[in-house]
Amino acid sequence: MTQCCEVPYGVSRGTCGVPGGLFVPEVCEAIIDTYQHEFLKCPKTPEEWKTVAEVFANKWNYHNCIRALDGKHVPIKKPRKLGSLYYFYKKFHSIILIAVADAKYKFLYIDVGAEGGAGNGGAWSKYNLHHAIEQN
């Protein structure tokens, strides 16, 4: 497990909570393990996928849509010795957050941490979602 204090997101050892900095990642992992089956359900059958598409069509007038995907550059402090990797062309340092949501604003997938300097397109290949789609 990566120690949060080694990742250049401006997270201090005090924020991590314990020597070695494993508190934040362990808590996140526990939340995911506990709630993923309740809140991160993926449709399995054609009927379930059709229901998802019907909600998008009825609520937003987006037909044949099953999920919405978008990314956001989150401003951060310049990381030491890695500043150019995180420097976004709009003149600030950032990490990229991408999220997938359903028609009712429910997040189904979130990934954060790609370097802002890569841009949205360059960061896409770094996400687990990209690899999952490529592997069907």
Pair 74, 65: CB distance under 8 Å: no
In a domain, 99, yes or no: yes
Co-location of 75 and 26 in the same domain: no
Q: Domain tally for the chain?
A: 2
As given in the structure block, the two tokens for residue 54 are 């019907």
pLDDT at 135 over 50: yes
Residue by residue, DSSP assigns the chain as: ---GGGSTTT--HHHH-STTS-HHHHHHHHHHHHHHHHH-----SHHHHHHHHHHHHHHH--TT---EEEEEEEE-PPPTTTHHHHEETTTEEEEEEEEEE-TTS-EEEEEEEEEGGGHHHHHHTTSHHHHHHHT-
In a domain, 10, yes or no: yes
Task: Give the 3-state DSSP-derived string for 20-34, with helices as H, strands as E and coil as C.
Answer: CCCHHHHHHHHHHHH
In a domain, 46, yes or no: no
Among left, alpha and beta (phi > 0; psi -120 to 50; other), residue 17 is left
Which is more confidently placed, 102 or 25? 102
Co-location of 73 and 114 in the same domain: yes
Co-location of 88 and 129 in the same domain: yes
Give the whole-number percent of the chain exceeding pLDDT 70.
Answer: 77
In a domain, 8, yes or no: yes
Which is more confidently placed, 124 or 100? 100
Co-location of 88 and 31 in the same domain: no
Per-residue pLDDT tens for 55-95?
999 999 999 998 998 888 888 887 777 767 777 878 888 88
pLDDT at 101 over 80: yes
Co-location of 75 and 112 in the same domain: yes
Domain residues for 126? 67-134
